[in-house]
Amino acid sequence: MTDYSAQLKSRTDYANSVIDRFLPDEKGYLAELVAAMNYSVLAGGKRLRPVFIDSVFRLMGGTDERREPFMAAMEYLHTYSLVHDDMPEIDNDDMRRGMPTTHKKFGTACGLLAGDGLLHWSAQTALKAFDYAKNEEDKDCIISAFKIFTDKSGPYGMLGGQSVDVLFTGQHPDRERLDYIYRLKTCALIEGSMMIGAALAGADKEHIDCFEQLGRCVGMAFQIQDDILDCTGNEQTLGKPLNSDDKNDKTTYVTLFGIDKAKSEVVRLSQEALRILEAARCCRQEENDFLRRLIESLVVREY
């Protein structure tokens, strides 16, 4: 196991422990709803967004636990979007991460409510960061991070991208509209995660803007790699059926440009992300090296 692999496992384990700690309790009349919420979160995943929050926070000199509520909140927010994405009215998927999707296990009504519950719980959890504020400066950092959290998740962020994706399904968008969908649907939460890590550490606007651009490159590369894996990946490794985009009549980078050009674009975007990271001139070299290796690994991922 390489040093990077050990670091990634350690940081993913840390993210999982934080996510578990802030989950709601399954009890009383709400036990079924909360069980569905928790099932969705605990189904697994790369925990990429909380790892980005943690890593950028460390990179920018952050040391306390104020990042932890945001790490959990971002994963709850991301999971809510997946729960709704899988439902019959949108992608109608039966499997995710090798397990039945939430609506298949708990029914469509409970699946819908579980997604709603995770959305609200994410905001409630993020606000717990104020428990770690020691002064007004800390509070200002948390307010800045929470504004990013809401901006990147709403109608002009992830939700907006999802809506354009759904409402224009079957109309075969050109590259301009496809880029718009990807920038909002996928990039927004990755951008937001990096920006939140920086904001919580007290970074200036120049650095926060830099991480927004870095997150956009990473998010675009990540989504295009998803397009490629939907056609060429291993179903068992991915934990979901292949060719779901074709099934749902969705235009992707692969359908627009072909596999080879899509792969080239993933490499180009990843190289641009690395250039932005280098230009940011962050002094904590170990954290810089980890982020660089993480970005490089996303280019060749198989799930």
Task: Specify the CATH number for the domain of residue 102.
Answer: 1.10.600.10
Helices 67-85 and 158-167 cross at an angle (nearest 10°) of 10
CA distance 22 to 279: 35
CB-based contacts of 63, cutoff 8 Å, min separation 6:
none
Mind listing the pLDDT tens digit for each residue in 101-159?
Answer: 999 999 999 999 999 999 999 999 999 999 999 999 999 999 999 999 999 999 999 99
Q: Output phi, psi for 92, to 5 deg.
A: 55, 50
CA distance 281 to 277: 7
Here the tokens at position 15 are 């993210």
First to last CA, the chain: 19
Q: Give whole-number Cα distances, 94 to 12, 86, 106, 258, in Å.
A: 26, 7, 12, 27
Residue 294: name the closest of 72, 70, 48, 63 by CA: 48
Q: Is the model's pLDDT at 282 over the cut of 90?
A: no
Q: Give whole-number Cα distances, 68 to 10, 54, 229, 264, in Å.
A: 15, 8, 31, 36
3-state DSSP assignment of residue 99:
strand
Confidence of residue 294 (pLDDT cuts 50, 70, 90): very high
Mind listing the pLDDT tens digit for each residue in 206-264?
Answer: 999 999 999 999 999 999 999 999 988 666 655 556 566 666 678 899 999 999 999 99
Rg (Cα) of the chain, in Å, rounded? 19
pLDDT of residue 1: 44
CB 270 within 8 A of CB 221: yes
CB 46 within 8 A of CB 8: no
Per-position DSSP letters for 153-176, written without gaps between them:
HSTTTHHHHHHHHHHTTTS---HH
> What number is the average pLDDT over the span 158-175?
89
> What number is the average pLDDT over the span 168-182?
89
CA distance 96 to 86: 8
Element (H or E) spanning 69, and its range?
A: helix 67-85
Which residues lie across from 95 on neighbouring strands? 100
Here the tokens at position 254 are 């692969």
pLDDT of residue 283: 65
Q: Give whole-number Cα distances, 21 to 17, 145, 284, in Å.
A: 6, 21, 28
Q: Is the model's pLDDT at 174 over the cut of 80?
A: yes
Q: How many domains does the chain have?
A: 1
Q: Which domain holds residue 207?
A: 3-299
